[in-house]
Structure 1
Amino acid sequence: MTEVSEEEFLIKLLDVVYKLSNIAKTQSYRFKKKWDEYLKPLNKKPHIIRQIHLDKTKFLADIDYRIKVLKNVENAIVDGFHSIKSLLQTLYGAYFDSELFKKDFSEDDQLVLKYFTAKQILGNLIQYNKMDHESVPMKYNIIARNYTLIKLKGQTDTEVLDNLKKLNITDIKQADLIKIMQEVKSEGIITIKKKGKENFYELKKELIISQEGKK
């Protein structure tokens, strides 16, 4: 195992912090810009990722400054969680029921977007989804987690429930799942068949937004 000197370690740490500071800066700017364009009328104060101010020379030389910067990095990571949460809460708690949304998208796209958004955000942020089960209604969360498997080969009640357990969602029982999936079926997203004693879910409608909706 190669030993790393204190100086080499600090230089590598500085490089990581510098990259994170740039990510925080660019992502925070983009997030705020898009928020102001689309969601500001519904929520004027989203949770924004704080800036990570960094003096490279001071970071290497001053341990107290270094500790302060690393604490700020930790807080910025926590901000990331709360930024996603505020986005999801605003989308599912206000935007998707607003006239803004209904004016901009057809009825079919409105339906698809509620599932598509959950799939894109929760489906790609597994660690986040393990910590937040409340911001997105459960039917969208279930499809976000199981969409690909339902599309490729179908899923039984047990398989869906097992996938939810991986997200630390353990309070959904089979009877609850059946009720939720019946609602998803009523919206034309899935079909339900019997496979032994269980329900078997297959995809009926792919989550594809129309060309008009993408504009």
Structure 2
Amino acid sequence: MPSSQPYSIKLKNGEEVKVNDHVYCSPSWGVRDGTPYSIARIMEFLPSQGTPTFDKDGKRNEPITRVRLAWYYRPSDVSDRTVADSRLLLAAIYSEVCELSQLRSKCYVLHRDRISDLAGWKKRPDRFYFTRLFDPWLRKEFEVIPAVTVRNVPEHIREVLISRYEYIVAEREVVPDLTDDLRLCDTCEKWCPPYVGDDRFPPAFD
């Protein structure tokens, strides 16, 4: 089994980064498209292409030359609308393996819900935040809400949801129903699902 110990890599600027850290990433000037940098979360470190991440004894194969990154978008990357807030990002359902040499330095990205003082957060260098997720295949934005705010589901489902996930992704129109107080049937006193005639909610089948 692979080692569960934290694994870190030292960047050229001397900073150490590990899985789930956020970083500035940019390719060499020769292949850059004009964007000075992109922002991403480190998902895993990888050896050279064709080399297994771990050997048969569960030890990480060296040297580490690549990294899998989960990208963030700027709102202007996916829409024509003007967004004055340069610290606002969109999480994305998209990851890519890049050369380790493309990582420039650390930055910090949090969900808006985890920031108590947004104005103060944005005054600090290298700080960003997000509230939505962008699906590049559907070309659509979704709300990202804390799992603990979901109340209008059966209790056993809510418990599993909270135990496994910190956030959930949902269409904006569905969020009020998910975060509403638990709705019970007046007759059986069990959870009452949303009206199936509503196009936002497909019918359930046994």
Same fold? TM cut 0.5: no
- Answer 1 or 2: which has greater helix percent: 1
When normalised by structure 2's length, the TM-score is 0.28
